[in-house]
Structure 1
Amino acid sequence: MSLLRINLIDVGWGDSILIESYTDSGEAHFALIDSNDTANYRSSYIFLKRFFERRDVRFPVDENLFDWVLLSHVHADHGQGLKKVLQDFGTDWFCYPKSQNTALFFSDLLRYAKRYGPNKGMRYQHVDQLQTLPALGDVHVEVLWPEENLLPENENNNSVVLALYLGNDAVVLTGDAEAEVWDSIAADIPANTRFFKVPHHGSENGYFSHGSCPWIGQLDNQAVLGISSHIRPFRHPHQSVIDDLEQQPRTYLRTDEHYHIIFETDGTQHSIKYSHI
């Protein structure tokens, strides 16, 4: 049985998302979106190391563990831990959006990819609606945003928005894309979306546009919403967003209350749970 599992890792602030895909034959594929780790706080790294050790992976690894690792956009709370992930876990592809941001951590990531990538069997490329990501076994991946050669001054609106498909179910992962993006692509959200990551940690600018939410009406009542909370220092999710979600006929979970949020589907049946482990 094919299976897709999305893990919103409770990293305390920022984002880190582990994607698992298993084919009918049991072949495993793994991908990662973002890591906000610092030298002193390595929440996503610890989660990943324990995850793979439970699967009898021994470190240092002999081959790349990830099919691809994606930096959703060039902000430190999404990418400053990725170099350590690339070094210790390995990936076939390192992907990122084009950006005007010259952040030091991003320049360092690109230097590492160019210098050491060929020796580690790692390729790298930018992604947009025309430069897509490899499939994860039976899971098809589509880039909904950004548009080709679009370089917004607001780096949040440079976020890579992904739709993942398995059977009759879809998952949408949103980075920090704000209202202007959703005004453009809300209609592109798959009708069969069963899990939707609330954009920008549940901030007002990722939720509201002109007083209403441009994306929530595209989701049916089966869709579960997940929030990677960013309580310190930004107090996301915002109370106005929570108030609106409380009026919605959909389940939502948030990492500051539910810890690791795990959505799973076999393409027909789906479930949501949370875990402290």
Structure 2
Amino acid sequence: MVNIGEFARLGGVSTRMLRHYDAIGLLEPADVDPSSGRRSYDVAQLPVLNRLIALKGLGFSLDEVGVLLGEGVEPAQLQGMLRLRQAEFERRMRHDRHALDRVTARLRLIKQETQVTAQIETKQVDALTLAALSATAADASRLSTGAVVYSLFGQVIERMEAVTADRTTPVAHYVSSAGDAEVQVTAGYAVPADSVPGLATYSLPAAEVASTIHQGPMSGIATAYQTLARWAEANGHHQILEAPRWREHYLEADGEDESHWIVELQLEVGELG
């Protein structure tokens, strides 16, 4: 038996919350001293407290938690509930991250309106896992890579829709080899670690990148590529242009009318870690 303060420490909650759970009948102490009113708990009650906290974290009301605890929640069942909740949080985070990137891109475009040249930003980007497909383009021209990336996205979307997989943050990754005209093209959507049936799991490492924002039809994105290439040359990064690794993050790319599309083009300067 331990006192309420020690039980609160072991369970990672406050004594106030334990008193509240006692008052509403969710978790009563193992013993209450009749003269002092001091509560004591059995260490064996910790699994009940852990389930209570986990169920609250899943969004259940305390009344619903009481019913579930009364029915008895098996560890495997609780783990399944928590995994579903975790997946939902990850989905929200991906969508929020994408929304934030869109707002940031708009702010950069507004700032760019008063500048003669496009704004280049260097930053660190987190690692990203894609559900994706890859193929080889004959060369680095937009005519060649554009056809490949459109085809890949079409296949990825079809396969993700078939299994009702959540789609957000579309990304295309282009990898060239020194002295080789061919370009490896990968296209997909950010996903959690779990794979999507029919698609490969493709990992983009955390990296330092130089980026600029392109607005409008993809046929005109060559200007953004040239801007970043000139930046690399001017800032002592000419070696990365020998075998460049490019990322296109499609922030607003809905519909066939590309006049309103917004794409963040990133040139990988170096991997982090």
TM-score normalised by the chain length of structure 1: 0.21
**TM-score, structure 2 as length reference:** 0.21
